[in-house]
Amino acid sequence: MKKKPRVAKQDLFDGYGVELFIDEDNDWLAHLTELPSISAFGSSPQAALKELAAAWELAKESYAANGLEIPVAPARREYRGVFQVRIDKRVHRALAIEAERAGVSLNALVAEKLAKSTDI
């Protein structure tokens, strides 16, 4: 399948991103980026999105019927800014040395490197 540009329908899909693809038969596939198992086909992008909206509503009904919470899209979750990462001890050592040489904490060095690698 050829990948087409990403389309965001965040209100309709509760903050989840949407990706649209067209296959070799010119059918459109739409799926929630963060929940790719929720997907739908259509003969046009609009039809695929309409079907995806119906699939998302059914998925939410299924969550509720089974006593499960509807997952919150990552874009709408609250974050504390704290998480743990396990890394190779050699990488840990190299980063600690780099931080010491730069006169900053290991946390500050890693935070700076992560910030540079994201789109924020």
**What is the per-residue pLDDT across 109-120, written as a single tens digit (0 to 9) for each?**
999 999 999 877
* Structural domains in the chain plus CATH codes: 2-74 (3.30.160), 79-116 (no CATH)
If pLDDT is split at 50, 70 and 90, which confidence band does 10 have? Answer: very low
CA max distance for the chain: 59
Please state the rounded mean pLDDT for residues 71-76: 92
- Whole-structure pTM value: 0.69
58-to-6, 13, 42, 80 alpha-carbon distances in Å: 23, 12, 17, 31
